[in-house]
Amino acid sequence: MRRSMELKEAHHQAPDALLTPAKKVFIKTYGCQMNVYDSQRMNDALSADGYTSTDVIEDADLVLLNTCHIREKAAEKVYSELGRLRDMKAERAGAGREMVIGVTGCVAQAEGGEILRRSPAVDLVVGPQTYHRLPDVVRRVRGGQKVVETEYALEDKFDHLPQPRRQDVIKRGVTAFLTVQEGCDKFCTFCVVPYTRGSEVSRSVAQIVAEAERLADAGVREVTLLGQNVNAWHGEGPDGSEWGLGRLLYRLADIPGLSRLRYTTSHPRDMDDELIAAHRDLRTLMPYLHLPVQAGSNRILKAMNRKHTAADYLKLIDRVRAARDDIALSGDFIVGFPGETDADFEDTMTLVREVRYASAFSFKYSPRPGTPGADMKNHVEEAVKNERLQRLQALLTQQQQDFVDSLIGKTIETLVEKPGREAGQVMGRSPWLQTVILDVNAARIGDIVDVKVTKTGYNSLYAERI
Ligand code: SAH
Ligand code: SF4
Ligand code: F3S
């Protein structure tokens, strides 16, 4: 996989339809929350350049796929979608209408110009480090070029990306993502992120605080700080000293109107004392921690280059729970990493039983080109991976159900987020991320209210205002 990529341009015939004003963008987002945040920032950048965003692909003059490369299936989805878009583009061309197709995100960074070779209907490929250049790239495409922009920019994209307009923040609702950290230096042997997102970079305290204040000013009640390694975030505070994520959370908790803080995704090696203390001290910091461990066998953890043991992880969980006893744990797991034996897998099951997760994500190992894991011997058979995944997911689903069931009859705090799926309902979020379904008259969107849980669904809670 290429880490720093060249800029390539090839001239092609500009279609006549360029003369008609084309000003609607449709962005389809794959992958993690960081891509959700990035898609919003791309919308903001393009809106400053005169585009409006649309949810209807048929109306769009510019279609961007913001992609994910984490597993093979994720990357392949993009190519099947590009097949559909190619047909749509051909149909449009027949009707004399232009349609620009772009690929952004982690597949763009990993595959660069290869995407144009495989899918010639694509006009532009832009990697995550250069989204601030997107309006310029689109202009060049409309001038008749194909553009691949996957170099790591020297300038900080966050200094150049326009902030969303207040009305756009309001439209996005009462919860928001805020990327504070990007990239990863950990190089787990299964993972593409260090290659697609580059090395760890932290945004400055001033930038983060200013963005959080703007969000709060537009009515946002809950902010989730994002980073591929969010707890590796560090920055210089106003006093000149080095701050870690814990300190940053104390600062953000002071912002009027911001009532809930979350952060994701953390690495066990970066959970320091101050961050754990923040969980003890800050009521604003939600009692929820997504702390992936991936596997329970020390042999496999070593082969994955996780740099911690199962016992280290369990000790850490004990410290976190000692600081905040109502904290809910969530994790990510990979089954069938090369060399994983039945006994190794049983270690994962044992660890899960010990932790008791409130929710979790689990995946079959997917070999990724350019990562050390892909070249390892002893790949696990697909049938074995399937069976292990089924067993693990059955256990995790049971734990999730146990967690939600434990809330029946309890009074919990809920942030009301949006209208419910059915008429007469509104939907909120519990401190532990379950959907809470309430009567529409119980509270208004943006309210934080105490409710009593009456019954449970699949990771959801029905509740009454008290
Ligand atoms: N930065 C986060 C995770 C990023 S990727 C962390 O360090 O925890 C999200 C999850 O995808 C990972 O936690 C892992 O469980 C899974 N994943 C990553 N690479 C994978 C691969 N090659 N095959 C299967 N799952 C993978
Ligand atoms: Fe990937 Fe590991 Fe970095 Fe997480 S810590 S992004 S799993 S390399
Ligand atoms: Fe996927 Fe990139 Fe996120 S690979 S998980 S979109 S960082």
Q: Is 184 annotated as a binding residue?
A: yes
Is the model more confident about 18 or about 132?
132
pLDDT in tens, 28-61: 999 999 999 999 999 999 999 899 999 999 999 9
Is the model more confident about 24 or about 3?
24
Q: What is the mean pLDDT of residues 296-304?
A: 98
Cα 34 to ligand 3 centre (Å): 7
User: Which of 304, 417, 301, 290 has the alpha carbon at shortest distance from 348?
Assistant: 301
Q: Which two tokens stand for residue 159?
A: 């200094």
Is the model more confident about 263 or about 2?
263
Spell out the CATH class of 2-149: alpha beta
Could you tell me if the CB of 184 is within 6 A of ligand 2? yes
In this prediction, residue 14 carries a pLDDT of: 42
Cα 122 to ligand 2 centre (Å): 29
pLDDT score of 1 more than 90: no
Residue ranges lining ligand 3, Cβ < 6 Å: 31-32, 34-35, 68-70, 105-106, 192-193, 196-197, 228
> Which fold would CATH assign to domain 157-405?
pyruvate-formate lyase- activating enzyme (3.80.30)
The bound ligand whose nearest atom lies closest to the alpha carbon of 105 is 3
Cα 154 to ligand 3 centre (Å): 22
Could you tell me if the CB of 430 is within 6 A of ligand 2? no
Q: Which residue owns the Cα nearest ligand 3 atom 3?
A: 32
Q: What is the mean pLDDT of residues 212-230?
A: 97
Cα 192 to ligand 2 centre (Å): 8
| Alpha-helix runs per DSSP H in 294-355 | 298-303, 310-323, 342-355
Q: What is the mean pLDDT of residues 234-250?
A: 94
Domain ranges of the chain: 2-149, 157-405, 411-465
In this prediction, residue 3 carries a pLDDT of: 38
**Confidence band (pLDDT; 50, 70, 90) for 23?**
confident
Could you tell me if the CB of 127 is within 6 A of ligand 2? no
pLDDT in tens, 331-352: 999 999 999 999 999 999 999 9
Cα 105 to ligand 2 centre (Å): 16
In this prediction, residue 444 carries a pLDDT of: 94
* Cα of 78 vs its chain's centroid, Å: 17
185 CA closest ligand 2 atom index: 3
74 CA closest ligand 3 atom index: 1
The bound ligand whose nearest atom lies closest to the alpha carbon of 75 is 3
CB 392 within 8 A of CB 353: no
CB 324 within 8 A of CB 286: no
Name the residue with tokens 């995550």: 128
pLDDT score of 267 more than 70: yes
Q: What is the mean pLDDT of residues 295-305?
A: 98
Cα separation of 309 and 296, whole Å? Answer: 8
pLDDT in tens, 144-163: 999 999 988 777 889 899 99
CATH node for 411-465:
2.40.50.140
Distances in whole angstroms, Cα of residue 10 to Cα of each of 108, 123, 147: 17, 10, 7
Could you tell me if the CB of 187 is within 6 A of ligand 2? yes
Q: What percent of the chain has pLDDT over 90?
A: 89
In this prediction, residue 281 carries a pLDDT of: 98
Q: What is the mean pLDDT of residues 391-418?
A: 97
What's the mean per-residue pLDDT of the chain? 93
In this prediction, residue 21 carries a pLDDT of: 54
Cα 115 to ligand 2 centre (Å): 24
Q: Is 228 annotated as a binding residue?
A: no
Cα 227 to ligand 1 centre (Å): 13
Strands 234-236 and 242-244: antiparallel
In this prediction, residue 10 carries a pLDDT of: 38
In this prediction, residue 458 carries a pLDDT of: 84
3-state secondary structure of 423: coil
The bound ligand whose nearest atom lies closest to the alpha carbon of 230 is 1
pLDDT in tens, 430-441: 999 999 999 999
Instruction: Please compute Rg for the chain using Cα positions.
Output: 23
pLDDT score of 11 more than 70: no
Mutate which of 181, 267, 337, 365 for ligand 2? The one with the most ligand atoms within 8 Å of its CB, which is: 267
Cα 297 to ligand 2 centre (Å): 18
Could you tell me if the CB of 363 is within 6 A of ligand 1? yes
Q: What is the mean pLDDT of residues 412-430?
A: 95
